[in-house]
Amino acid sequence: MSASTTTTTAATACWSCGQAVSGGHFCAACGKIQPLARDTDYFAFFGLPRKLSIDAGDLEQSFHALSWKLHPDNFVRASESERDLSLERSSQLNDAYRTLLDPITRVEYLLGLEGMRREGQQKQQAPPELLEEVFELNESLDELRMARAAGGDLDERARLSKTLEAAAKKFQDSLAGVDAELRKLFVAWDQALDAGADAAARRALMERMNAALNRRSYIRNLVAGVHKELTENC
């Protein structure tokens, strides 16, 4: 199985009964909570392959089932090491659930696991197809700031505000387009894994997802900046 599909854990012995365990949170023989391998990722935490199309309802059910099993209240009379494992695992469970539940944080996490996306290294450049619109938007922002600073005509300021609102709506539509593109790439990624695609094919898909995320981040920041300008200076 490819390392890009899921994280597998070599069989080890249960610390309590000595029986072989191969991943999972509990020993199948004695039921004791087990330490997880250090390389266990959030997908493997839920027993999932590294796919991007995840059913939110199924994930929620798994979360609640694991939350009940791993809850510290179930380990009040257990050993100190078991109580520590329960606390650690419950915290990891919450982090894993929040990350995988949202499609955007899910794909960002996957790309991070694959070494394709690191915090602070995302490119913040205007998408080529939006360069003209971005230039016009920045011009309108500058005009509005100068008009306000000079105490300009209220009608002119209202006109510029409406222009910015319309531009923000257009960029919001572009954002929806990027999200639709990402959903298609999620399906393509999952299909590639099922088909046993080679490393080059997987990397090509990840590069496309990374580029889409960069466009999405830029557009979101642009829209947020416009809304902030309109709200703070209304």
Q: Is the pTM of this model over 0.85?
A: no
How many Å is the Cα radius of gyration of the chain?
24
Residue 21: what are its φ and ψ, rounded to 5°?
Answer: -125, 145
Site of tokens 């099993």: 69
- Reading the chain (234 residues) residue by residue, the pLDDT tens digits are 333 444 444 568 999 999 998 778 999 999 999 998 888 899 999 999 999 999 999 999 999 999 999 999 999 999 999 999 999 999 999 999 999 999 999 999 999 999 987 554 555 666 777 777 777 777 777 777 777 777 766 777 777 788 888 888 888 888 899 999 999 999 999 999 999 999 999 999 999 999 999 889 888 888 888 888 777 655
Round to whole Å and give the CA distance between 34 and 26: 5
- List the alpha helices (DSSP H) in the chain: 42-45, 56-70, 80-101, 103-113, 131-149, 154-194, 199-232
What distances in angstroms separate CA 170 from CA 129, 146, 230, one per listed residue?
Answer: 13, 24, 16
